[in-house]
Amino acid sequence: MVLQPKGALAVMSIRGAAVIVCMAVATLCLAASDEQEDEEAMARVNGRAITADEVERFMRVSQAGAPPVSPELMTTAVYEEFQARRKWEAIESLIERHLLCELARQEYLDGQATSQPLDEYAEQELKKLEERAGSPAKARHLLTGLGLNVDQFKQMQIENALATKLLFDKVYSHVHASPTEVRKYYDEHREDFRAERSVVYRQILFVVVDREEELTQRERAESVLRRIVQGLDFGAAADRYSADSETYPGGRREVSVPDYLPGWLPPAVAGLEPGQLSVVRRLAGGFSVARLEEVKPARVLPFEEAQPRIKEDILQRERTAARAEYVGKLKKDAAIEYLPPAAALGLE
């Protein structure tokens, strides 16, 4: 991904549909509108208000894919503290995202809010959402359920691209994990890389939200299955049609299976032999087309297999620390004011 201050912008693609939208938008923020300035402000960052409405919307979106909270299982005091902490974390996240986007616009857009390539990118992301949801109407229904409209969704894609680019340039590109460091970690923690038996398979998921979609989604699944039988690459089909392709590129999944379940296979591929393709199956979340790839026996992973995971773990740890340090400096240099509604949370 390349962003240049006065050139064309090539931005990171963010796919979304059905369940995936819940996860994809959880880390994004919303731009302030003129109307928001009149709402109750929780905080201000460099003069920009973060409103109560914005905070509530952020919490709703960020919790969309998470298990529901059961207030009845908590005391009133514990639940109130839980809610207060969620609000405080949302405020902090919105402050951070605003600072990142503000600096990114200065770095790449000469301070302007957007550019034609970014607008085109946001429109493309909307089209992808509509395709994966099944129709423009279903995509808008999905967004409405998250408290978003189309313009807000587009703005979120733009801000995510800007913030991601800035973090890559200023933080992530400077973090490295040397081969020596990776090998040393493996040698010292070899027993930590003992893998259970695992099942590797590919799946294309067609989500069914309500009964009205049953027939349509089954027909889509049957159509894709016919194309795969006729020669369409399964991985390519999964990337294009599966509702969870963002989480599972190529539809590939690997599930660990304890030794005490020797014959168990995931429902999507139950009864198949490696290399076999399933029929269209109705699962809990919708319809599935799947192919069993292999069943791996329990073993200690060799260094070659463990290396990518170790490297990614080291990089993730270092990136998290570097990001926290970078954002901390931005906050230190920014004019941040926590207004009475935020201060009343008692968590500053």
Phi first, then psi: what are they for 9, rounded to 5°?
-105, 125
Domains along the chain with CATH numbers = 2-175+314-343 (1.10.4030.10), 197-297 (3.10.50.40)
Q: How much is the pLDDT for 39? A: 61
Looking at per-residue pLDDT, the higher value among 7 and 164 belongs to 164
Q: In this structure, which amino acid lies at residue 16?
A: G
211 Rama sector, left if φ>0, alpha if ψ -120 to 50, beta otherwise: alpha
Q: What is the pTM of this model?
A: 0.61
Mean predicted lDDT score pLDDT of the chain: 85
**Beta carbons of 203 and 251 less than 8 angstroms apart:** yes
Separation of alpha carbons 187 and 170, rounded Å: 32
Separation of alpha carbons 278 and 289, rounded Å: 6
Separation of alpha carbons 43 and 51, rounded Å: 7
Question: For residue range 158-206, what is the model confidence (pLDDT) as tens digits?
Answer: 988 999 999 999 999 999 999 999 999 999 999 899 888 999 999 999 9
Q: How much is the pLDDT for 123? A: 94
Q: How much is the pLDDT for 66? A: 72
State the CB neighbour count (10 A cutoff) for residue 237.
20
Question: For residue range 84-134, what is the model confidence (pLDDT) as tens digits?
Answer: 999 999 999 999 999 999 999 999 998 777 788 899 999 999 999 999 888
**Beta carbons of 230 and 279 less than 8 angstroms apart:** no
